Amino acid sequence: MNLHEYQAKEYFETYDLPVSRRSIIKKSSDIDEAVESIDFSNGCVAKVQSHTGGRGKVGGVKLCKSKVEVKEFVEQWLGKKIVTIQTDSDGLPVNIISLEELTDIDKELYMSFIVDRGEKCVSMIVSEAGGMNIEEVAEKTPEKILKAKLNSDYLIEEKEIKVLANSLNFNSEQTDQFSKIVSGCAKLFRDKDLSLLEINPLVIKTDGNLHCLDAKINVDENALYRQEDLLDKRDPTQEDQREYEAKENDLSYVSLDGNIGCMVNGAGLAMGTMDTIKLYDGEPANFLDVGGTATKERVSKAFKLILSDQNVKGILINIFGGIVRCDLIAQGIIDAIKERSVSVPIVVRLQGNKSEEGKLILNDSGLNLIGEDSLQEASKKIVELVK
């Protein structure tokens, strides 16, 4: 789960990480109050609040010298969508704009904390190349990427901090600030079960002080049960609507670009099904795992999800009955189809526990369902039918 920058900065403040003072605009009538509640003597920075970086490059971050310019910015963005290199071509809705007090910048650096799977720990990455796409920096100038592992107490030794600070040419005061920022971020990362914390850029201000100019936080969703304050920070408008609905119903769903809707029980089988569709030159419209304990209700929800995708021209249902009983699934499929008049062709493969009974139920339903026994045949068939 992602947070908005302004939400991330609220957490930053709790951990004494230096961020700019802000005010939030959710509707045009908020502008006056928002401008008055910050120090506007040097103007401000207006920032689109959507779950994406790369806003600066498309005008989603703008220095405004006057209230008129703020109004223009709000006019330009509020209620619109922002498309960046990090979003898809649809972009993300802009419902919130943050006004920040202006920071005078001397140098932009990069800092992040990640779950480092290779090293089996949390690692910190810092770089003198801030404000840029860090993947690009890593590729073109890997020597500019510095990395340090956090120990099991989420600490980096003071010695190591000093070495990093030296490489970044910090003076002693900046080194102290750096050390505090590192430990603040590490605590926040640990306390809130984050999977990513990124400050790009971390800046050296013209007065020499370090400052977190941007803030990105990803939370490990598996930990949300114990992070109650984070739960109401979720912004569904920033998530793929079908994926969000799937999550609410405990289904694993990822939307894709193709036209064959897939309903499968088990993640591995779902991957295999998508591979087989591709093998026969078809394109899956989604990954959908209804789970090992697929029930009638879940099948019905899954149908609704698949059919809400306008691109779906056919559906392949592939169920392996282990714990799940295929006869119950068959009934679920029939109920779901009757509930919503489905007009696209449906190929069904049932195997395993009570599959013979399941097939009989499907045959007797009088519905236009095509049964296949092998995954190859089933995939071939659905690919043919959507062509």
Judged by the rule CB under 5 A, the positions of this chain that interact with Mn ion are 200, 214
Annotation says 157 is catalytic: no
Question: Among residues 130 and 261, whose Cβ is nearest to Mn ion?
Answer: 130
Output 102 or 337, the one with its CB closest to ligand GDP.
102
H or E stretch including 203? strand 194-205
Please, which residue, 43 or 56, has the CB nearer to Mn ion? 56
How far is it, in rounded angstroms, from Cα 45 to Cα 43? 7
**Residues found near ligand GDP in the complex (CB under 6 A):** 45, 53-56, 61, 100, 102-103, 105, 108, 131, 200-201, 213-214
Catalytic residue check, 6: no
- Supply the DSSP string of 54-116, one letter for each residue: -TGGGTSEEEESSHHHHHHHHHHHTTSEE--TTS-TT-EE---EEEEE---EEEEEEEEEEEE
* Active-site pick, 5, 100, 108, 110: 110
Q: What are phi and psi of 289, to 5 degrees?
A: -110, 110
In the complex, which residue's CB is closest to Mn ion?
214
Query: What is the rounded CA–CA span in Å between residue 274 and residue 265?
Result: 13
Non-local (6+) Cβ contacts of 144 within 8 A are: 127, 128, 129, 137
Nearest residue to ligand GDP on Cβ basis = 56
Q: Smaller CB distance to Mn ion: residue 199 or 382?
A: 199
Find the catalytic residue in 100, 108, 198, 372.
198
- Binding partner at 103 among ligand GDP, Mn ion, none, C-beta below 5 to 8 Å by kind: ligand GDP
User: Which entry of ligand GDP, Mn ion, none binds 91, CB below 5 to 8 A by partner kind?
Assistant: none
Q: Whole-number minimum distance, CB 136 to Mn ion, in Å?
A: 14
- Phi/psi at 55 (5° precision): -70, -40
Q: Which does residue 45 touch among Mn ion, ligand GDP, none (CB within 5 to 8 A, set by kind)?
A: ligand GDP
Residue 105: name its binding partner from ligand GDP, Mn ion, none (Cβ under 5 to 8 Å by kind): ligand GDP
Kindly state the smallest distance separating residue 24's Cβ from ligand GDP, in Å.
15
Helix (H/G/I), strand (E/B), else coil: 149: strand
**Is the CB of residue 340 less than 8 Å from the CB of residue 308?**
no
- Report how far residue 257's alpha carbon sits from residue 259's, in angstroms, rounded to the nearest whole number: 7
Query: Which residues, other chains included, contact 284 with Cβ-Cβ below 8 Å and sequence gap of 6+?
Result: 256, 258, 260, 261, 262, 273, 274, 277, 278
Q: Cβ 74 to ligand GDP, closest distance in Å?
A: 17
How far apart are CB 178 and ligand GDP at their closest, in Å? 19
Shortest spacing between CB 46 and ligand GDP, in angstroms: 10
184 binds, among ligand GDP, Mn ion, none (CB under 5 to 8 A by kind): none
**Of 181 and 362, which has the nearer Cβ to ligand GDP?**
181
Neighbours of 20 (CB within 10 A): 19
Neighbours of 315 (CB within 10 A): 26
Of the candidates 308, 353, 316, 312, the one whose C-alpha atom is nearest the C-alpha of residue 333 is 316
Give 61 or 185: the residue with its C-beta nearer to ligand GDP.
Answer: 61
In total, the chain counts a number of residues equal to 387
Report the partner that residue 62 touches, choosing among ligand GDP, Mn ion, none (CB closer than 5 to 8 A by kind). none
* 71, two tokens: 């109004």
Q: Which residues are catalytic?
A: 110, 198
